[in-house]
Chain A
Amino acid sequence: MYSTLQRLNHLSSLATTYIMILLGLISIASFLSHPSVNTGNVEIKDLIIQKGRLRRWGARQEELASLHFDIRTDLNPLLNSYNTKQLFVYLTASYEEGSTGNAHEVVVWDRIIQRADIRDIRAVGNKLPKAKAGRKGRGNVRVEAGKNKYQWRNPSGTFKDVEYANMTLHYHLMPYVGVLSSGVAATAQGPVTIPELIKR
């Protein structure tokens, strides 16, 4: 009849097949039942353009934009979905240059929300408070007077050619297994006009 090795072989191959089928079904099911998010609000405050340098060796002086912003949105549906490992939430500025028509998109702020520390995100200013251990909240994202985390520059070195920018908060969903997905979490009310350079 069958030897022990053959039995083991059959058992392990059967187990792997079924686990793979299960994982496939989970990823398909969670992809099909991807929850929708009510888009929240991003409010941009005091956007300014200044001369400055990037923090790297040999950087030339160029125009850099900096801003403060408020975010208000609710990502609970995404975090309550069973196949969510983490959310990557990022605020982007997308704009076009008038004369060349080049399309630009830049991340100005981002934040990782892990399922393990599901909680409300409340931030005032640049610093984000640490989570209290064991305290569970919901995925309400509230950022007040947040500051851009990355320096926003234009490859041409100047914002003269840019009239306005669209600010959007996106999310990127990382599942435990399966398909990665992304979407819009919050938008600003209309485009933001890029101001004149502040001369010093």
Chain B
Amino acid sequence: MFSNEIARIRKLGLQGLLFQALNLLTVVSSGLMMWKGLCLFTNSESPIVVVLSGSMEPAFYRGDILFLTNPAEVPYEIGDITIYKIPGQNIPIVHRVIESHITNTTQFLLTKGDNNPGDDITLYNGIEWIEREHIIGKVKGFLPYIGYVTIAMNDFPQLKYALLGCVGLVMLIQQEN
């Protein structure tokens, strides 16, 4: 099976191989460009996120996909569902704004998960209010279930490798036709 492959690679030659590599690079870079373009357009460092916790049930379950925007000049409104990241913790949290206090320099926010009994002050790690600098974006759109794939892959790394292996195998088999 592999002798066949090696023979084909020989036939491609250096130029062919380089061309293949270039093709691959184009795919990767265009993907990256689209993602970064979306980041610029929405003004959010990660415009598409997957829900990881059940604290917003029954609105969002684990594995739902959220689309975010973060307009720079628009203050956050009460009732908005924001995604924020506390410095020193690397998992972003999806919770609803329940208090907003606008002063002439900044906006102080307090959040709460719909499914939690109390507000988030215990999650803030010593900070008393959330501010714009902590916020990644607010939820604009919603797509259920699809993100569970990524959660499954993070929980079971074997699945990730199995998937990658399968994709590789399929590519090999397809090229023989």
Contact = CB atoms under 8 A, between A and B. Distances in A.
A170 B96 CA distance: 14
Contacts of B98: 90, 106-107, 110, 150
B79 interface: yes
Contacts of B121: 56
Contacts of B141: 27, 178-180
Interface residues on B, range: 20 to 34
Given A86-B58, A104-B100, A112-B58, A177 B78 contact: no
A178 B119 CA distance: 27
B151 interface: no
A104 B102 contact: yes
A90 B121 CA distance: 20
B142 interface: yes
Contact of A88 (B59, B101, B140, B173): B59
A174 interface: yes
Interface residues on A, range: 35 or more
Nearest to B59: A174
Contact of A106 (B99, B103, B114, B140): B99
Contacts of B119: 150
Given A3-B177, A6-B174, A170 B104 contact: no
A102 B78 contact: no
Interface of A: 3, 5-6, 9, 23, 27, 55-56, 85-86, 88, 90, 92, 94, 100-107, 110, 112, 114, 150, 155, 170, 172, 174-180, 182
Interface of B: 58-59, 77-79, 81, 96, 98-104, 108, 114, 118-119, 121, 139-144, 170, 173-174, 177
Given A103-B101, A150-B119, A180-B141, 10 more contacts: A3-B177, A6-B177, A85-B59, A90-B98, A100-B104, A101-B104, A105-B101, A155-B101, A177-B144, A179-B142
